[in-house]
Amino acid sequence: MASCLYRYRRRILFFCLPCILLLPIYIYISISLIYVMKHGAHGSHPVLENLFTASGLRLSRDLAPHPVKSSCKSELNIGALWNIIQYMMDSQHNPILKTRLAAIPPGISYKIESGNGCSPDYEINTTMPDFFTLPTQMKDFVTSMYCREYPLIIDPLDVCDVGPLAKNRAPWLLLAIKTQSADFVNRKAIRGTWGRSGRIKSRDGRQRLVRRVFLLGTSKDLHIEEELQLESDKYGDILQWEFMDTFFNLTLKDVLFWDWFPRRCPHARFIFKGDTDIFVRTPALLDYLLAEEANGSFSNGSRQPNKMETFVVGDVINNAAPMRSSGTKYYIPESFFKGLYPSYPSGGGVVYSGSLAHRLLEVSQKVHLFPIDDVYLGMCLQRLRVFPIHHPAFLTFDFPKDEPKEPCANHTFLLVHKRSPAECSNCGPKCQSPVLNAEMQP
């Protein structure tokens, strides 16, 4: 008996020792699996690995993450009009959510779209109880926010080629600059400085075709509008739609530009979109974009074919909250929007790829208009799961305070805000010379 057991003990030991030794590994794997299922399901890591970090850049994730919750799951903020409309738009596109529409309290009627949504909504006061207490620009926005189709008044046909040779003659960089009708001075300065159209030399002498277009709504001053028409005849770079050119209508410039782009300039490789009161070192920007392109980021289709489609770079702002003090230009009442803004590149100046612009047009049709244009871009990027790249040389909030007297002359930047082109073009050899130095340290 004993010898029998002894015989079996050896066998038991032989078979079970490995099991016992492997036990910690099993436990480790199980715990890891549970952890991954709990925390990894949001998928932020796989998405991020797809992105690229250019030299001297940081992904915005290093500063703060995108909200990980997908917008579909966002809690229904009953009090906030934008959130409810967005929820309803999502439900239209998603049959699972459709069944949860009952969550919206009865008695509140929210329209999503009727026709093209361009007749004014006089019943808005029933869906937004504090409507009459809102500042004028918010009221104007809310009454017209279902409308995003406005006729073109001036359509510059020669900015890009659209004929059979369109692809070969496409601009490498298209500058799309937000300006207002009366802003003649800045447009003139931009044409003569950083916004020159034609083959522009980068720092190391490579030439790329740059084209320019100004984005405008209309003003009430007919005299100014007439002058603008003359300006357009002369330069052919005015793109104007028929809506009031106000701060809360700036988002229309984005969505209408995204709509114009595939028809008139579909092959542009990069788009710069920015304000008129900035200064851009275009040759340095070309250098930077050329380096990105050459780094196998997107020219090397075999490795990561979709990188070009996710390229957007700027001064990325993370975890911003809506301004709640009614005196400010950016005031967004709680009755309109609740929650944090997604990460967004500041609207002062941002560069994205042409192929991303095509995707933005598509996704923007599923995102309800928001009155602040750069936040709206962030909302669209979030839906595309595209993470904007933060670049420290995009100084959309001006130079750091303790700068020397002539910051333009002595600062490494690609873009700076609150400097008129005149101010910066007088500021030293580094700005004027076509060969700019562009060390881009983080």
Ligand X SMILES: *[C@@H]1O[C@H](CO)[C@@H](O)[C@H](O)[C@H]1NC(C)=O
Positions in the binding site for ligand X (CB under 6 A): 52-55, 122, 125-126, 137, 140-141, 144, 243-244, 246, 248-249, 291, 295-296, 299-300, 302-303, 404-406, 409-410
Which of 140/225 has CB closer to ligand X? 140
C-beta of 178: minimal distance to ligand X in Å?
14
Q: How far is the CB of 394 from ligand X (least distance, A)?
A: 17
Burial 38-47 (b: 16+ CB within 10 A, else e): eeeeeebeee
In sequence order, what DSSP letters do the residues of 18-63 get, joined into one string?
HHHHHHHHHHHHHHHHHHHHHHGGG-HHHHHHTS---TT-EEHHHH
Pair 270, 352: CB distance under 8 Å: yes
* Complex with ligand X: residue 147 or 238, whichever CB lies closer: 147
Sheet containing strand 394-395, edge to edge, reads: 278-280, 415-417, 394-395
Give the CB-nearest residue to ligand X: 404
DSSP lists the bridge partners of residue 176 as: 213, 273
Least Å from the CB of residue 77 to ligand X: 21
Angle at the Cα of 94 from the Cα atoms of 74 and 148, rounded to 5 degrees: 80
Closer of 94 and 126 to ligand X (Cβ): 126
Nearer to ligand X, 133 or 319 (CB): 133
Burial class of 209 by CB neighbour count within 10 A (0 to 12, 13 to 18, 19+): middle
Min CB(91)–ligand X separation in Å: 25
Q: Which residues pair with 344 in a beta bridge?
A: 317
Separation of alpha carbons 417 and 252, rounded Å: 22
Alpha-carbon dihedral sign for residues 393, 397, 401, 406: positive
User: CA 98 to CA 117: how far, in whole Å?
Assistant: 22
Q: Could you tell me the end-to-end alpha-carbon distance of the chain, in angstroms, rounded to an integer? A: 77
Report the residue number, 3 or 441, with the smaller CB distance to ligand X. Answer: 441
Minimum distance from CB of 265 to ligand X (Å)? 24
Backbone φ and ψ for 200, nearest 5 degrees, come out as -110, 140
Which residue number, 149 or 227, has a Cβ lying nearer to ligand X?
149
In sequence order, the 6+-apart residues with CB closer than 8 A to the CB of 139 are 131
| Closest alpha carbon to 415 in 240, 177, 252, 169 | 177
CB of 39 to ligand X, least distance (A): 25
Minimum CB distance to ligand X, residue 37 (Å): 29
Q: How far is the CB of 409 from ligand X (least distance, A)?
A: 6
CB of 123 to ligand X, least distance (A): 6
Helix (H, G, I), strand (E, B) or coil at 273: strand
Nearer to ligand X, 116 or 299 (CB): 299
